[in-house]
Amino acid sequence: MINVTALLRSELSWFVLAILAALVAGLIVGAPLLLMLLASIGYTIWLLVRMANIVKWLESGAASSKAPPTMGLMDQVVGLIHREKAYSRKQKNRYRSTLARFNHLAAVLPDATVVFDNMRNIQWSNHAANTLLNIHEERDHGQRIDNLLRAPEMLNYLAQEEEGLEVEVSSPVAPEKTLSMIKVKAAKGMTVLIARDITQRVKVREMRKAFVADVSHELRTPLTVIRGYLEMVLDDDMLDTKNKDALLNVQAQSDRMQHIVEHLLELSKLEGNPLGESEGQPIVVSSLLQNTVKVLNESIGSSHELIVDADEELLLIGSESEIYSAINNLLANAINYTNAGTRVIASWHLNDTGLPLLSIDDNGAGIEAQHLHRLSERFYRVDKGRSRENGGTGLGLAIVKHAAQRHGGQLLINSTPGHGSQFQIEFPASRIASAAKVMNM
């Protein structure tokens, strides 16, 4: 700690000494006041010169070797400046080495990372950005990112306001590589774009899909042959009851297998294969609902009350067979997993936010909350026994989910045990068509 009082005292004692010396000299020459005045002016000028030297030294960069010769208070000022400079040099070195370490770490990260500002100008990128996105750390600094990533899917993604969404795109460097891109907003208007090479993951996913599709396809023929022979043998009047019962059992199981194979094939066609933005035909969803309910009513009689509440003017652009399959699965579930006397309402309207919403509501027994998020997984069933009894494959809701996703929509499930369940598909506004418009086309 600097003792400021002691410093002032020493500076003051130099001043007093100079005045006293001037007084003695003044008394000798007979002009004490004049010499004292001259001494104080001289001292002030000397002080100002020392200060001016320090200012000049500071202005020239305050190099330690060029520090002006000082004493007293000014010497302390120079000492403090030396100390501050040494401290800030140390801090600067620390920041520099932290930055170097961060840059090194970011450079070796396998994920491409690009930081851009709200004008989309690139502020920083790492080495992987060069290998995966062809964005060079130095060459492309300050360039607009949308001038460098020109593929329509990438431009669409960059233009989207919503953050945290993940998209799969092909690498602009090597189109055979698939990248998963995500962007997040950082502080001060900056956005961080991260791209990861998921080529292997996509390959494994595609292989699994192809394997399931191939196996299902291969099982189809032997199953058809088995079912044909079974029918032939069952037609035989000579068959005794014991054997007939056993064969009827085999037939029921082969029917079940046939359903699973058909559902697996349907699923593999839908999965990860989105429809183009304007792909599809205008579908009169209200008619699909009416017709499905009519057919179901014929088969179940009066066990359930089926009600349709649909906007006939509201059409959906999409694949009719897929929407029919989704409606059929949802209505069949609402009948199969509820007791006789249950009321099922199938509705089709624009919801509060103006999006087309298909909803199948029942006032059945409902589903416990812990099952809800797993219902659309393949082969997930709440009540295995009941599903089997109803001929369920455990794939119905997975098909509904993928059909919804193919249309850019999403499956929403709500249920309250004791009150009923609600299965909804919310479609994007881009899939709306109106009956009046379609008629005029």
Tell me which residues touch ligand ADP (CB under 6 A): 329, 333-334, 337-338, 362, 364, 367, 375, 380-383, 387, 392-398, 421
Of 366, 356, 364, 361, whose CA–CA distance to 308 is shortest?
A: 361
Of the two residues 315 and 335, which places its CB atom closer to ligand ADP in the complex?
335
Of the two residues 74 and 334, which places its CB atom closer to ligand ADP in the complex?
334
CB of 344 to ligand ADP, least distance (A): 8
CB of 363 to ligand ADP, least distance (A): 10
CA dist 166 and 128 (Å) reads: 18
What are 169's two structure tokens? 């795109």
> Which strands make up the sheet holding 343-350, listed edge to edge?
305-310, 343-350, 356-362, 420-426, 410-416
CA dist 43 and 51 (Å) reads: 12
Of the two residues 299 and 440, which places its CB atom closer to ligand ADP in the complex?
299
End-to-end CA, the chain: 89
| HSE value, Cβ hemisphere, 13 Å, CA-based, for 283 | 22
What are 130's two structure tokens? 């060069």
Of the two residues 204 and 412, which places its CB atom closer to ligand ADP in the complex?
412
Say how many C-beta atoms besides its own lie within 10 A of residue 64's C-beta.
10
CB of 362 to ligand ADP, least distance (A): 5
Of 331, 345, 336, 323, whose CA–CA distance to 431 is shortest?
A: 323
CB of 288 to ligand ADP, least distance (A): 18
DSSP 148-217: H--SHHHHHHHH----S-EEEEE-SS-TTSEEEEEEEE-STT-EEEEEEE-HHHHHHHHHHHHHHHHHHH
Residue that the structure tokens 């066609």 belong to: 269
CB of 404 to ligand ADP, least distance (A): 13
CB of 302 to ligand ADP, least distance (A): 19
Contacts 24+ apart (CB under 8 A), 147-153: 148/122
Of the two residues 170 and 254, which places its CB atom closer to ligand ADP in the complex?
254
CA dist 50 and 57 (Å) reads: 11
For ligand ADP, the nearest residue by Cβ is 396
Say how many C-beta atoms besides its own lie within 10 A of residue 7's C-beta.
14
Q: What is the DSSP letter of 274?
A: P
CB of 209 to ligand ADP, least distance (A): 19
Residue type (1 letter), 200: Q
Of the two residues 183 and 406, which places its CB atom closer to ligand ADP in the complex?
406
Of the two residues 197 and 361, which places its CB atom closer to ligand ADP in the complex?
361
CB of 396 to ligand ADP, least distance (A): 2
3-state class of 342 per DSSP?
A: coil
Of the two residues 19 and 372, which places its CB atom closer to ligand ADP in the complex?
372
CA dist 356 and 90 (Å) reads: 63
CB of 394 to ligand ADP, least distance (A): 4
CB of 374 to ligand ADP, least distance (A): 9
Residue that the structure tokens 């509820």 belong to: 338
Of the two residues 280 and 396, which places its CB atom closer to ligand ADP in the complex?
396
Of the two residues 324 and 380, which places its CB atom closer to ligand ADP in the complex?
380
Say how many C-beta atoms besides its own lie within 10 A of residue 279's C-beta.
12
Of the two residues 272 and 391, which places its CB atom closer to ligand ADP in the complex?
391
CB of 347 to ligand ADP, least distance (A): 15
